[in-house]
Chain A
């Protein structure tokens, strides 16, 4: 977390990785793992997977968004460098 907030490049890379991960996990063949005619807690597995996976991906985006907001605020705050007391 700390690293990410400090280094925008890490944030950017992590972002791309999450995007690709999302693409993969919400597609064949990943979906095939859950595409079974079984119910878990009375809900078909694939639907349960999507009902959990989808909000999860939204949470990930939200986290990035929060980090981004925090970072921007940080940048904003630290924009004028504090005067260094040389005395």
Chain B
């Protein structure tokens, strides 16, 4: 025995050293020179797998049941073969997803399910707590073994520390110190994904110590007390030949199935025990460390087991076959052989094995408890209030202590019972239950949340029934009846012979049934259920973690999205302000921020994901998801599916092709030469066929009504409101799009401010829409609208661009159609004008009649191609002459024909009508019907002159008065007569006037084109100017006078061509040469 003080101070010294190493490692880490970023440290830290259960227990097992303990270490060796695939995948996924624990891994894989996380945590705690108790027991027991004389120990006396109350024993002190260590080095920050360098360094050091200690005692016993391996084997077999089965397999205690089961359970345990996962995955610095650890860790296991059999056999020999203390042969043999220093080294080694396991396990479990059991409650209670980061980190610290102290409590209440014996393997099988959900989740796409949940729950129920119930019976908690007779007295429900599976080892039986129900239900339910979208997203990230995944298509958006600041505030609430700001600045560092200092709609979901991931590092993936969801829900925003408008999963890669195809089709339709209606319909069809919109409308401006009228439409309007014409006002989005000439996109109709539109969209059930102005040469001519009743957020940036281009195509189509129309109209008009021109030219007198005593002249200058003017000279049988000048409104064929008719009638029947008054009255009557129908009218001036008498009789039908230059008077006279325009009233009494003309008098008949010719100041030529011209130039011959007038009018208006037809008729009475 060794004095208490020495053992206690050595233990405390050792503790101090662990703290120092951990502190040093943390310092190094902060200085950027990580101590644990090293494959050897990683390999050693993995050896946290070897607890005191293996340190002491292996020898005990070898001495009592045989060599099956080797299976516990062979399993991990075999598993190491898979690490480059399986472990690397787990590490990669976890780093990408900020996964902090095994519960997180499973929950995250199946759509960040909070329920699944809680289930895994509960089972993990249930399965691991006894294991922690076992470690505390080992420390306490070995401490006693060293400090208490063996005779006292044999009586089972509990040794209490001198000077302290009876309730405080070594185990409690150790528990508190380990808890302190866990808090200091495992819960400094909330971010569990950040490596705990101090913790890992301490664990690696402990692993080094325990293997060294074990090798020392092994060499001491094998080569110090005995003469090597051969000697021990031969001595053992010579002294205890009946125990040769200890050195064989397929014995009563170790049938082959048991060997296989243990190997398999160890394979799963080394991967899926929470502490293994924590060290292997969460604390992994880089993937390259894995492939070195793949052989270093198995080599470690081999070394630490190399001397287990010699020590066990040596212990049996030295104790004369007594194996009651076999679990502690390692300690007892050096002690009994008088080497207390060696015993102390062994004690420290064993202490290391316990401490390392408790430290890592408590940190791993506390993370799980906080993230998956406490967080959901906290989030319910503290919705929205205050900064939680302080509370959370303290809760985590409390959880570390709670886990260790619960283990201590377990040890104090059940510590001495046989229930502890197989605790290690019970924990192994608990960890094995996680395997289907994890391995399946990493490699099998069809795995679903429900499958995993049911598999886990059923697996754990069977685990409890087939392993814990027998353990409880053994410890006396339960009567043996359940073991013998089964539950409810049903023999097929016996926990160790379920459904009559008898004579199967305890472990093989439990392993078989747990995996059978676990894997079976996992597979079956996964096949029967379909994953929810959140799961599918995660499936991709897990199963395809090594594939070069294209940037996930942006299929979701946030409605009423929070700002960056709000995201930061949210993070700060959970991880503290400083770290939140640090995180966001890293995130925003390489992102574009728009002018308003906010991210685009496409970037926001990514920021949300980043926030979630950052929070996941501290609170776990499922709580992080819940936090974000609650937060968004509380402020009325939510994630929405962005309609996959481009019709394929991978938008970004194929978008341009799809876009091009639609635009190409639209362009082809636009230039097809079909009618505008056909083209518009075709473009809308192409558009709606490609993208699943509910209602698409093209409206074109009707300039007369100043309204946007529907020209083409696809899809049906429920209320007839959505497809109605629109006024040109800013009250509607369509009007706004047109008037501002900007596209308007509303991805969520809940947010619109325009009352009228809000009402329409509500009635129509439309949730999102866009209006793009249709422009021609930059000027809007209409609006194209697309709307959806099913999906908000359809209009992504890419789509908006496409929509704009499509509107451009409609514009092109419209312009093309307009041009075509104009061309056709022009052609038709041209032809008509030609006809009219021919007619008109045919109507005008080809030559001026020659009448003695008078000179005549006439001209008609049509305004454009054809005129509506007419003049004629009508020779009468009595030697008189009729002058007619008329102006038909309109410049088309109709007018020309009417003129022709007039001419025909006048020419045919002139003279029969009688006087000009009668002629006009007759013409009026005759044309009344035609003119009325054709909406034409004719003004006419008719004058009859009889050279013999020198008298002129005239009448006017609304025509401009003629001008008469009277030579004798030296002035001009207006010849006007009352008369209505022809074709207005059927009967009208035309006035008739007469005037006597003398020699030298000049008569000028004209149409209003002359006096209404305007100059650039809009001043009219006027009757006065015309009269003055006549006055000044009356001496000219009629032809010259006409030319002069035309020239003056042209000069006046400043233009060669006239706006209206101009016709002039001049009659000059020759001066009679009285002398002759």
Contacts and interface: CB of A to CB of B under 8 A. Distances in A.
Interface in B46-89: 67, 70, 74, 77-78, 80-82, 84
B299 A58 contact: yes
B988 interface: no
B263 A26 contact: yes
Interface in A11-26: 15, 18-19, 22-23, 26
A47 B230 CA distance: 12
Interface in B230-280: 230-231, 233-234, 237, 244, 247-250, 256-257, 259-260, 263
B250 A58 contact: no
A9 to B, nearest CB: 13
B250 A35 contact: yes
Contacts of A68: 84, 291
Contact of B77 (A29, A37, A54, A65): A54
B67 A61 contact: no
B292 interface: yes
A51 B67 CA distance: 12
Contact-size category for B = 35 or more
A64 B110 CA distance: 33
Given A31-B249, A46-B248, A58 B298 contact: yes
A79 B234 CA distance: 59
Contact of A61 (B233, B288, B295, B309): B295
A76 B259 CA distance: 43
Given A37-B244, A42-B233, A68-B84, A31 B256 contact: yes
B250 A65 contact: no
Given A43-B233, A44-B247, A46-B67, A27 B298 contact: no
Contacts of A61: 77, 80-81, 294-295, 298
A52 B278 CA distance: 32
Contacts of B1052: none
A2 to B, nearest CB: 20
Interface string A67-82: 0110010000000000
B302 interface: yes
Interface class of chain A by DSSP: helix
Contact of B84 (A15, A47, A50): A15
Interface residues of A, number: 34
B233 A44 contact: yes
A22 B81 contact: yes
Contacts of A58: 77, 295, 298-299, 302
B74 A54 contact: yes
A32 B250 contact: yes
A59 to B, nearest CB: 8
Contacts of A46: 67, 247-249
Contact of A42 (B81, B229, B288, B295): B229
A19 B75 CA distance: 11
Nearest to B309: A47
A26 B230 contact: no
A65 B292 CA distance: 6
Contacts, number: 97
A75 to B, nearest CB: 12
Given A39-B233, A41-B230, A47 B247 contact: yes
Contacts of A44: 233, 244, 247-248
B451 to A, nearest CB: 26
Nearest to A62: B295
Contacts of B291: 65, 68-69
A28 B356 CA distance: 34
A55 interface: yes
B74 A26 contact: yes
B86 to A, nearest CB: 11
B294 A65 contact: yes
B745 to A, nearest CB: 45
Nearest to A27: B260
A22 B67 contact: no
Contacts of B230: 41-43
A62 B295 CA distance: 5
Contacts of A28: 250, 256-257, 259-260
Nearest to B81: A19
Nearest to A16: B81
Contacts of A23: 78
Interface string B802-828: 000000000000000000000000000
Contact of A22 (B78, B231, B244, B248): B78
Interface in B285-330: 288, 291-292, 294-295, 298-299, 302, 306, 309
A4 interface: no
Nearest to A54: B302
Contacts of A27: 256, 259-260, 263
A57 interface: yes
Contacts of B250: 28, 32, 35
Contacts of B263: 26-27
A58 B259 CA distance: 20
A26 to B, nearest CB: 6
Nearest to B70: A50
B84 A18 contact: no
Contacts of A51: 306
Contacts of B82: 19
A54 to B, nearest CB: 6
Contacts of A41: 230
A79 to B, nearest CB: 15
Contact of B248 (A29, A35, A59, A72): A35
Contacts of A65: 291-292, 294-295
Nearest to B83: A61
B262 to A, nearest CB: 11
Interface string B746-786: 00000000000000000000000000000000000000000
Contacts of B84: 15, 64, 68
B922 to A, nearest CB: 104
A15 B230 CA distance: 35
Contacts of B306: 51
Contacts of B67: 46-47, 50
A11 B70 CA distance: 29
A32 B233 contact: no
Contacts of A62: 294-295, 299
Nearest to A35: B249
Nearest to B79: A19
A51 B303 CA distance: 11
B807 to A, nearest CB: 48
A2 B795 CA distance: 55
Contacts of B70: 50, 54
Contacts of A64: 81, 84, 294
Given A26-B74, A61-B298, A32 B256 contact: yes
Given A31-B259, A58-B302, A61-B294, A37 B229 contact: no
Contacts of A37: 244, 248
A57 B229 contact: no
A65 B87 CA distance: 14
Q: Which 3 A-B pairs have the closest CB atoms?
A: A42-B230, A28-B256, A62-B295
Interface of B: 67, 70, 74, 77-78, 80-82, 84, 229-231, 233-234, 237, 244, 247-250, 256-257, 259-260, 263, 288, 291-292, 294-295, 298-299, 302, 306, 309
26 contacts: A15-B81, A22-B78, A26-B74, A28-B250, A31-B256, A35-B248, A39-B233, A39-B237, A42-B230, A42-B233, A43-B229, A44-B244, A44-B247, A46-B67, A46-B249, A50-B70, A50-B74, A51-B306, A54-B74, A57-B78, A58-B295, A58-B299, A61-B81, A61-B298, A65-B292, A69-B292
Interface of A: 15, 18-19, 22-23, 26-29, 31-32, 35, 37, 39, 41-44, 46-47, 50-51, 54-55, 57-59, 61-62, 64-65, 68-69, 72
Given A31-B256, A72-B288, 16 more contacts: A15-B81, A18-B81, A23-B78, A26-B78, A27-B260, A28-B259, A35-B248, A43-B233, A46-B248, A47-B247, A54-B302, A58-B299, A59-B295, A61-B295, A61-B298, A65-B292
